[in-house]
Amino acid sequence: MTILQMQYFKAVCIHGSVTRAAEDLFVSRPAISRLLSELEKELGVTLFWRSSNGLALTEEGKVFYENCCDILNRIEALEKRMFEICHSKDEYIIRVGLTPATGIIIFPQFYRSFYEAHPDIKLKVVEYGNERARQLLSEGEIDAMFTSDLSWDSKLCGYQYLFDTELVFCVSKEHHLARKDHVTLEDIKNEPLIYMEKNMQREKEIAELFASHGLVPQIIMRTAQISLIKRIVTDGSACAVQIKEAIDDGEEIIGIPFRPKIPIKIGIKWNLSAEKNKKFKIFLEYVKQYDFKKMIN
């Protein structure tokens, strides 16, 4: 097993497609397919379920993905540490954690604005599931994370509320519920759902809400790839419960509010030790003053 195989595997997981991974990595599709085939033979497992809807991780693939990301992240951390040793301490790189949904909602516009204001401050963006991000933030492996999990408390971290949004029920434009102005749990109790991997943000609250009505969500698939969720919902194979603006575009995917509304607070949490660096303090102050609400109105 090589680092290159793990990098190609992770890219395919992120993009949900060998073709898109090849385009992103500037390598040929056959090269990625060959290395993945060799990897599966070496490990003696099947890593992906392959269908007309794209690729989905098998149970073995999910285990390998989690550990693969951990190994690659550690390699990146080691490379970063070596870089820092060889360069001036003033070359401080702020490590920002994103979860899939919050990353899509928040980061593209914010990053462009921040970079224009502070081109001398470098941000390194990494994406993790919620529990892994918590761990890395507490350990100081990342400096800050945008999250909807503000109720999580740690003496090692500070937090700042940024804006309000809500959970919506996401369906294809052809779905029989697409024209409704709201849905209730009774409306969706039998609808097939695609979820992010276990311990996604707000999953516990969603499960408790269903349980309070004597219902169980009909989860037919989980994935680490938000792009796959978009494709599955768009073609009508399943629906999704997501933070508003995460996957619904009002055209191919319709986000229907719940009644009663399921509110979500988005904010930033940071490791308190990062405040020792003046560039991080500039970044944090910029986040606190930035008008995130304009991105969702």
Q: How many CA atoms lie within 13 A of 66 on its CB side?
A: 13
Pick the CATH number of 165-263 from 3.90.1300.10, 3.40.50.720, 3.40.190.290, 3.10.20.30: 3.40.190.290
Predicted local confidence at residue 54, as pLDDT: 73
Within the chain, all domains assigned CATH 3.40.190.10 are found at 75-163+265-295
Provide the whole-model pTM. 0.65
Predicted local confidence at residue 199, as pLDDT: 59
* pLDDT tens-digit map of 21-75: 888 777 888 888 888 889 889 989 999 888 777 788 889 989 999 999 999 888 8
- CATH architecture of the domain 3-71 equals Orthogonal Bundle (1.10)
CB of 181 closer than 8 Å to CB of 259: no
* pLDDT tens-digit map of 237-279: 999 999 888 889 899 999 999 999 999 889 999 999 999 889 9
CB atoms within 10 A of CB 42: 11
Of the given ranges (149-153, 158-162, 188-192), which has the lowest mean pLDDT? 149-153
Q: Give the CATH class of 75-163+265-295.
A: alpha beta
Token pair, residue 246, equals 């995460």
Predicted local confidence at residue 90, as pLDDT: 47
The torsion region of residue 239 among left (phi > 0), alpha (psi -120 to 50) and beta comes to beta
Within the chain, all domains assigned CATH 1.10.10.10 are found at 3-71
CB of 268 closer than 8 Å to CB of 292: no
Residues 6/7/13/14 CA torsion (nearest 10 deg): 150
Average pLDDT of the residues of the chain: 87
